[in-house]
A and B are shown apart, each in its own frame.
Chain A
């Protein structure tokens, strides 16, 4: 499975037509086709291309909803 760093994830922010990748709990998901992640933004507050694990703790849902998206890689949380 593809490995991402926090740095390499930044180019998948959904801006200027880039793919929309989001990371949480060490996993990277492809949200490009998600209605709720259009242009890399979710619920007025969350931006793609980064590790959103802390923000997920405040969300009205668990990581279970991320399983709706294709899992495409793992995040190396050290780098």
Chain B
């Protein structure tokens, strides 16, 4: 634990235990999403599905990166991951992104993907609001993650045709915002 780092956050008026719990819940959401997206990606096949596969894969890898980036901050603040992975799964800040009943329904898969990203956008916006001007390191980390989650939401939403598209697929390396926290 980084004792003074935790003290600074506490002294700034943040409920550190609650913040750590939220960080662990969001780390659980990232790792379980990485798992569930693996299944979604495997089912994105055929003329429609193959077109979506690459963004699902980029989101999957970036979500795993978010997990990697969150873990050090959890331990710095005096938290820890549960020993039991079943417990970790069930405490996720977002519901499981389960494969739809009809796995050939690409639109239904896209809806699962966009809902998962929307949940993440809500979660990190909240942590940014809690930490802004108080816990600079958690804020910067969660803002970086939020930037990537918003892009993921946009990709899936645009594939669903919810509005005009302002985005391209990721060019260059994955995690352009979060990369510095885990490299």
Query: Please, how many angstroms separate the alpha-carbon atoms of A36 and B96 in the complex?
Result: 10
Closest 8 CB pairs of A and B: A44-B21, A60-B122, A35-B95, A60-B126, A60-B125, A44-B18, A44-B22, A61-B122
Q: Total interface residues on B, using CB and 8 Å?
A: 16
CB atoms of A38 and B22 under 8 A apart: no
Q: B-side binding surface: helix, strand, loop or mixed?
A: helix
Per-position contact with A for B73-84: 1 when CB-CB < 8 Å, else 0?
A: 000000000000
B90 at the interface (CB under 8 A from A): yes
Task: Find residues 53-103 in chain B having any chain A CB closer than 8 Å to their own CB.
Answer: 90-96
A73 and B25 CA atoms in complex are apart in Å by 30
The 8 A CB mask of A50-65 against B (1 = contact, 0 = none) is 0000000001110000
Chain A contact residues: helix, strand, loop or mixed: loop
Selected contact of A43 from candidates B93, B95, B96, B129, CB within 8 Å: B93
Contact B95 A36 (CB under 8 A): yes
* A35–B96 CB distance below 8 A: yes
- Contact pattern, B 116-135, Cβ under 8 Å of A = 1, otherwise 0: 00000011011001000000
Q: How far apart are the CA atoms of A64 and B111 in the complex, in Å?
A: 18
CA distance A43 to B123 in the complex (A): 9
The answer to the question of A45 belonging to the interface, with a C-beta cut-off of 8 Å to chain B, is yes
How far does the alpha carbon of A43 sit from the alpha carbon of B125 in the complex, in Å? 13
Distance in angstroms from B74 CB to nearest chain A CB is 13
Chain B residue contacts of A35, Cβ below 8 A: 92, 95-96
| 18 A-B contacts (beta carbon < 8 Å) | A35-B92, A35-B96, A36-B93, A36-B95, A38-B90, A43-B22, A43-B93, A43-B123, A43-B126, A44-B21, A44-B22, A45-B18, A60-B122, A60-B123, A60-B125, A60-B126, A60-B129, A61-B122
